[in-house]
Structure 1
Amino acid sequence: MFDLSGHVSIVTGGNGGLGLAYCRGLVKAGAKVAIWGRNEQKNAAAVEELRSMGGDVEAYACDVTDEAAIAETFAKTLERFGKVDSCFANAGGGGFRGLSSQVGRQTWLDTIDLNLMSVVQTWGPVSDYMVANKIPGRLIVTSSIAAKVGSGGAAGYSTTKAAVIGLTQAIAMELGQAGIRVNAIMPGFIETEMSLDTSQQFQDAARRRSAIGRIGEFEDMEGIAVFLASRESDFMTGQGIVLDGGASIFPL
């Protein structure tokens, strides 16, 4: 079970943070991985690390808010690996901070473009390819527990992470009969560069709310990536899977 030998995964934003954690899990399970990331230095470091683990890995400079760049990078990925079995739409960002009423329209649109439209644009050509080639593929997106409980001062982030849950459910309905499964990962507070760029008060609260007495680590994200990429998740689709150490069940 959970053997991904011969499996090919795309991981956007796979050069760091949660994306790189997914890549580590996938490589350990035998998958080949194509990293799509904007920062070429981080791309190179991620490839070096994953290859040292025995992984068949390639990285491509790609901005997932650019449809033309996505099409070009997807073509390169297919040329290099010959197929794609799963796609993790993980690239995104925290968006703006502050009161939503005081943020301009363009700032809102930039956050939507980064966290929602990038997923639509990434999944589009990948799902078309899977349907055309009768591949029972997997589409996975990184959402957040903020989609469920909200995040004050980060309305753009909470809104877009909730939106990709709706997108996940809709695309799951569209593609289910084609054998394609679509799911979202909803991490809680994980020690990433982005999460640590918050106030100490916020970080301390996240630790207190954990039902298991700690916050998330990168290793906690490896297994879910393997599960969702594998055939063992064949009866799961349209779901937002919470990994938060029980923080969201903590009584207020």
Structure 2
Amino acid sequence: MNVSNLRLKDKVAIVTGAGSGIGEAAAYTFAREGARVVLVGRREAPLLSNVAAISQAGGEAIVVAADVSLSGEVERVVAETLDRFGRIDCVFNNAGIQGNGDPIVAMEETSFDELIAVNLKGPWLLTRAALRIMLNGGQDGAIVNTSSFLSTGATAGTSVYSASKAGLDAMTRAVALEVGDKGIRINNVNPGVIDTPMLRAHGEEIIPPLAARAALGRIGTPQDIADVAVWLCTDEARFITGQSILVDGGFTIPGPR
């Protein structure tokens, strides 16, 4: 593993949704910067594979398979992190789901509940649990959430998804005011269109027109987002808190839809 900089040497980072896409890229990037990483997700197999890759590259990481929408599971993530590493310095609340894109009149209440539970309640639960540890230990810390360009825009079928991400933006502003004077920062990274399994599930044919819309002429990669999320946890971002940072390659310049 390239350790030329080590901006997060000896820090401990929790990454949710770490089995694939943005979370996978972020987990490796945290490790590359010297952090010890806790990979969290509902599916254990891809987490174990990613930890093996991190370990082979010289990093240190563990797996905690958990559903972040459940408070008991979140508390277990924190407990296992402390048992292994003794502290929590960084949290990347990245786990999220998109839903099936149904219009509101066709959407089931259960779908609403699941989207809000994973996308909004999950980050709230882990933020609360991690902050209790950070505040009790009197230490600095950084939390980053994965929001979306759809938090300030929408497409047909995103009534709940957009609402869940807008909720993250609002939560981040409030929490920043609650803990900023304790040396703890919280921010969002708001991806545009990113080449993840979630995107490709909609069909390969949608990618070229989406790429053509962006000012940079391409869709984003998971690494594009991971680099910003990790940077927000470093001292280089020490005066940034309460912000939702759009990382979209200029996709929303013509308008956030």
The question of 1:230 aligning with 2:204 is answered no
The question of 1:34 aligning with 2:33 is answered no
Give the corresponding residue for 1:133.
137
Q: CA deviation at 1:36?
A: 1.0
The question of 1:163 aligning with 2:167 is answered yes
Q: CA deviation at 1:201?
A: 5.8
Give the corresponding residue for 2:156.
152
Q: Structure 2: where are the runs of 5+ without partners?
A: none
* Aligned partner of 2:64 among 60, 64, 67: 60
Given that residues 142 and 186 in structure 1 are in contact (C-alpha distance below 8 angstroms), is that contact kept between their aligned partners in structure 2? yes
**CA shift digits 1:47-77 (9 cap, x unpaired):** 1111122110001111101111111221111
Give the corresponding residue for 1:178.
182
Residue 124 of structure 1 aligns to which amino acid in structure 2? R
Residue 161 of structure 2 aligns to which amino acid in structure 1? Y
Q: Which sits farther off after the overlay, 55-64 or 195-204?
A: 195-204
RMSD of equivalent CA atoms: 1.6
Q: Which sits farther off after the overlay, 43-52 or 220-229?
A: 220-229
Give the corresponding residue for 2:15.
11
Gap change, CA 1:2 and 1:224, over 3 Å in 2: farther
Identity %: 32
Residue 30 of structure 1 aligns to which amino acid in structure 2? G
Give the corresponding residue for 2:251.
247
TM-score of the aligned structures, taking structure 2 as reference length:
0.93
Given that residues 140 and 182 in structure 1 are in contact (C-alpha distance below 8 angstroms), is that contact kept between their aligned partners in structure 2? yes
Give the corresponding residue for 1:115.
119
Q: Equivalent residue of 1:194, what SS?
A: helix
Given that residues 184 and 239 in structure 1 are in contact (C-alpha distance below 8 angstroms), is that contact kept between their aligned partners in structure 2? yes
Q: CA deviation at 1:144?
A: 0.8
Q: Structure 1: where are the runs of 5+ without partners?
A: none
Given that residues 2 and 231 in structure 1 are in contact (C-alpha distance below 8 angstroms), is that contact kept between their aligned partners in structure 2? no
* Aligned partner of 2:52 among 48, 52, 58: 48
Instruction: Give the whole-Å Cα distance in 1 for the aligned partners of 2:111 and 2:221.
Output: 31
Given that residues 189 and 225 in structure 2 are in contact (C-alpha distance below 8 angstroms), is that contact kept between their aligned partners in structure 1? no
Instruction: Give the whole-Å Cα distance in 2 for the aligned partners of 1:116 and 1:222.
Output: 20
Given that residues 138 and 182 in structure 1 are in contact (C-alpha distance below 8 angstroms), is that contact kept between their aligned partners in structure 2? yes
Q: CA deviation at 1:96?
A: 3.5
Q: Equivalent residue of 2:252, what SS?
A: helix
**CA shift digits 1:130-175 (9 cap, x unpaired):** 0111111011100111112212222221111111000111111111
TM-score of the aligned structures, taking structure 1 as reference length:
0.95
* Aligned partner of 1:221 among 219, 225, 229: 225
The question of 1:89 aligning with 2:93 is answered yes
Given that residues 211 and 250 in structure 1 are in contact (C-alpha distance below 8 angstroms), is that contact kept between their aligned partners in structure 2? no
Instruction: Give the whole-Å Cα distance in 1 for the aligned partners of 2:118 and 2:247.
Output: 22
Instruction: Give the whole-Å Cα distance in 1 for the aligned partners of 2:110 and 2:36.
Output: 38
Given that residues 146 and 189 in structure 2 are in contact (C-alpha distance below 8 angstroms), is that contact kept between their aligned partners in structure 1? yes
Q: Equivalent residue of 1:128, what SS?
A: helix
Q: Equivalent residue of 1:247, what SS?
A: coil
Instruction: Give the whole-Å Cα distance in 2 for the aligned partners of 1:103 and 1:226.
Output: 35
Q: Equivalent residue of 2:124, what SS?
A: helix
Number of matched residues?
252
Q: Equivalent residue of 2:157, what SS?
A: coil
